[in-house]
């Protein structure tokens, strides 16, 4: 299927405005100006992770990224952010070409605002029905991300999502994500109907990544099975699953849940206090791991593709390997 592959790949790259139909997952503290610019400069599509940034911080980070690359890049915004509309306005002020809305379903008003000056909007679709609804609401492209991904995850694997969604979602470009570390996987999904792939974990150990050396070493040493989702002990106290490398922090989180639940049962805490105590356990934990290098007690978020990260490399070498693998698998030059 070389012809069909090239048509789909070209569609994805044209949508992103990049040489290759490969976009980066937005990883808080990792996907900042240096990593984003490095990927976009090499022909991929970098995506800046806004996370919990204030509008002022995002304004500065977009400007700093622009100083490092003239190529297109996107900005990932969390729809639950209390200042979401203002963050979108910041993107508009900078004429950001692509706004990625993550962490929930964006409202039509936010989608319309983001598209006001011609920016393209990308959103995440966990099921086909939501994908169709988002497309009707004006979203220009979708990402379908399986549970093999790092960070906050859903309950369905990448391969199943692809089978459920790709044959039926052809109106807008669809990028597949979650546990992807090699080009053959991207090419396979493109042959199934995707228009490209999204990788995150694979880029963490780029030379251009500001992640702490200890954080990078943890990735290089890890196997796929080391990246596990957080465990919820009691359905009365929901825990949003987060995939990360198992460490002392993971074990301490389990102990904290047991302690908090026991205190609730003993009448020492009400349910709201107990839930907040559980949710606040990881506050600042990702920064401690990525920036400070505390990989024992911090949150070392990683997808299961971490087992394919075997060394620190330049972004050019990482992307080059992935592109060569996809081209060889598809039987077409890229």
> What pLDDT shows up at residue 3?
80
As a whole-number percent, the residues of the chain with pLDDT over 70 amount to 100
Same domain, 123 and 36: yes
Give a yes or no: residue 194 inside a domain: yes
How many CB atoms sit inside 10 A of residue 324's CB? 13
Q: State whether 188 and 136 are in the same domain.
A: yes
Residue 216 included in any domain: no
Same structural domain for residues 121 and 27? yes
Per-residue pLDDT of 95-108, as tens digits, reads 999 999 999 999 99
Split into its structural domains, the chain has a count of 2
**110-150: pLDDT as tens digits:** 999 999 999 999 999 999 999 999 999 999 999 999 999 99
The residue segments making up the domain with residue 151 are 2-210+309-330
What pLDDT, on the 0 to 100 scale, is given for residue 263? 95
- Report the distance separating Cα 209 and Cα 324, nearest Å: 22
Residue 274 lies in a domain: yes
Evaluate if residue 286 carries a pLDDT over 70.
Answer: yes
The pLDDT of 279-300, averaged and rounded, is 95
- At residue 18, the pLDDT reads 98
Do residues 271 and 228 share a domain? yes
Residues 116 and 144 in one domain: yes
Q: Can you give the pLDDT at residue 198?
A: 98
Is the domain of 228 the same as that of 93?
no
Output the CA torsion 81→82→84→85 (10° steps).
170
Residue 221 confidence (pLDDT) above 80: yes
In the predicted model, what is the mean pLDDT of residues 201-221?
98
Token reading at 242: 């987060």
- Domain CATH code at residue 164: 3.20.20.70
C-alpha 311/C-alpha 301 separation (Å) is: 18
- Same domain assignment for residues 63 and 124: yes
For range 38-64, the mean pLDDT: 98
Beta carbons of 305 and 180 less than 8 angstroms apart: yes
pLDDT score for 4: 87
pLDDT attached to residue 51: 94
> Would you say residue 1 has pLDDT above 70?
no
8 Å CB contact between 25 and 200: yes
What pLDDT score does 2 carry?
A: 78
What's residue 74's pLDDT?
A: 98
Question: Which residues lie below 8 Å from residue 190, measured CB to CB, with a gap of 6+?
Answer: 5, 8, 9, 12, 21, 196, 197, 326, 330
What's the rounded mean pLDDT across residues 76-83? 96
Please check whether residues 104 and 130 belong to one and the same domain. yes
The answer to whether the CB of 285 falls within 8 A of the CB of 292 is no
Q: What pLDDT is recorded for position 153?
A: 95
């Amino acid at each position: 299927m070389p012809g069909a592959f090239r048509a789909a790949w070209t569609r994805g790259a044209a949508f992103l405005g990049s040489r290759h139909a490969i976009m980066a997952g937005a990883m808080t503290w990792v996907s900042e100006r240096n990593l984003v610019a490095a990927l976009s400069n090499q022909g991929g599509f970098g995506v800046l992770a806004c996370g919990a940034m204030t509008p002022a911080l995002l304004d500065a980070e977009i400007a700093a990224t622009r100083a490092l690359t003239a190529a297109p890049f996107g900005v990932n915004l969390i729809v639950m952010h209390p200042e979401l509309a203002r963050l979108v306005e910041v993107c508009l002020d900078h004429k950001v070409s692509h706004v990625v809305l993550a962490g929930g379903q964006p409202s039509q008003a936010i989608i319309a605002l983001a598209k006001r000056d011609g920016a393209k909007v990308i959103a995440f679709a966990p099921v086909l029905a939501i994908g169709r609804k988002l497309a009707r609401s004006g979203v220009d492209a979708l990402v379908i991300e399986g549970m093999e991904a790092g960070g906050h995850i859903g309950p369905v694997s990448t391969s199943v999502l692809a089978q459920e969604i790709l044959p039926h979602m052809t109106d807008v470009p669809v990028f597949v994500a979650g546990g992807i570390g090699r080009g053959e996987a991207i090419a396979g999904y493109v042959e199934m109907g995707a228009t490209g792939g999204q990788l995150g974990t694979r880029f963490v150990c780029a030379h251009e990544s500001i992640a702490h050396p200890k954080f990078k070493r943890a990735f290089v040493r890890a196997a796929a099975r080391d990246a596990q989702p957080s465990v919820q002990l009691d359905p009365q106290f929901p825990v949003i699953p987060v995939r990360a490398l198992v460490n002392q922090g993971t074990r301490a989180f389990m102990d904290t849940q047991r302690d908090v639940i026991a205190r609730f049962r003993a009448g020492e805490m009400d349910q709201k206090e107990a839930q907040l105590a559980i949710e606040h356990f990881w506050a600042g934990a990702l920064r401690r791991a990525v920036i400070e290098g505390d990989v024992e007690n911090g949150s070392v978020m990683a997808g299961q593709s971490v087992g394919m990260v075997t060394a620190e490399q330049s972004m050019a070498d990482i992307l080059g390997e992935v592109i060569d693998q996809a081209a060889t698998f598809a039987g077409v030059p890229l």
